[in-house]
Copies of this chain bind each other. A is one copy, B any other.
Amino acid sequence: MPATIKDVAKLANVSISTVSRVINNAPNVNPNTRKRVLDAINKLNFKPNKIAQSLTATAFPAIGIVSLTRFSNEAFLPLILQSIGEVADKKDYEIVLNTSKDENQEIKKCISMIESKVIQGIIILSSKVNDPLIEKLYEMKFPFVLLGRYTNERIANEIYSVDTDNFADSKEAVEYLFKLGHNRIAFIHGPLKYVVSQDRLSGYIEAHKEAAIPVDYSIIKDGGSSIKEAYLAAKEILKNPNPPTAVFVSDDSKAVGVYRACQELNLKIPDDISVIGHNNYEISQILSPQLTTIDVPIKDLGIIGTRKLFDLIEGIPTEKRTILDTKFIKRKSCKSLI
């Protein structure tokens, strides 16, 4: 049986209150006594029971992450988890994972963790267009930070979030292609239930509007959330009777599917077709030719988002919405037609 505070008290011949004071570095404890207690603690290898500590604090030091499935297939899960971990570690908080697959279970699990006092805050990894989880958490006034953007007008400006400007970045990429002389550009996006997919699509459309180039929905396709789906989408697009001269993919890993489709159809990148990706995953440098893409500071999203969450938890005033800078990275997958 591990030692408790009582054992320490007995051995050091003091009361448990004194031991508690020593543990918590309270002032007002005689240096001699402190030493005696510290010795006892060492001798017994005493470690305070975190559960018991949180009972009086009425809060267990942990934050929740919701949820893996919001982008389970994406290359950045490890990065984002690790960056969240870095910040949480410094605060000596635990990270508890919500791995729920379906939406109902996801919410239920969250509420349960909150109500049973297991977590003090939540990081939401990505937002859906009408996100019942976000609505619910907002309504509960429970501290949470969204890594993304929420669109529901009523509360969009009220929630705390960290994001990049997907709309602008997407627009910029398309404009770059316009400048290169492309005016028939395909777009392969992720599942439109996610706001990030919507935003990237909107940027694509807005660029067209501003350039007065009509949007052709026959070359805009859902690339799902797997490489294979993107590959299938690309193949369909490229077989279009009036094929595009460029394709913009909303995720580098989906670009792998596009490259494959091009290869199969004997289309040379960038000579026959230009490609741009998004996110700047490692793979974008390995693809041949190297992929032009938009660098998203994934680790910073995690770090800054988690810091914001701790500000919320600790009642420190913090900016509602933080937009992180991105960088358009020109590589070898685009060709000028002019």
Contacts and interface: CB of A to CB of B under 8 A. Distances in A.
Contacts of A115: 2, 47
Contact of A288 (B118, B227, B263): B263
Most buried by B among A55, A65, A116, A228: A116
Interface string A50-62: 1110110000101
Interface in A68-116: 68-69, 72-73, 75, 77-79, 81-82, 84-86, 88-89, 94-101, 105, 109, 112-113, 115-116
A226 interface: yes
A231 interface: yes
Nearest to A47: B115
Interface residues of A, number: 58
A86 B102 CA distance: 12
B54 A51 contact: yes
Contact of A286 (B81, B84, B101, B256): B256
A55 B51 contact: yes
B96 A82 contact: no
Contacts of A81: 68, 97, 99
A330 B125 CA distance: 37
B109 A99 contact: no
A34 interface: no
A99 B73 contact: no
Nearest to A111: B47
Nearest to A113: B94
A68 B97 contact: no
Contact of A116 (B49, B68, B264): B49
Interface in A258-305: 260, 263-264, 282-283, 285-288
A62 B260 contact: no
A214 interface: no
A101 B117 contact: no
Interface string A178-197: 00000000000000000000
A2 B58 CA distance: 11
Interface of A: 2, 47-52, 54-55, 60, 62, 65, 68-69, 72-73, 75, 77-79, 81-82, 84-86, 88-89, 94-101, 105, 109, 112-113, 115-118, 226-228, 231, 256-257, 260, 263-264, 282-283, 285-288
Report, nearest first, the 7 A-B pairs whose CB atoms are least far apart.
A85-B99, A50-B116, A47-B115, A72-B78, A95-B97, A94-B96, A49-B117
8 contacts: A47-B116, A48-B116, A50-B117, A88-B99, A94-B118, A97-B97, A228-B285, A260-B287
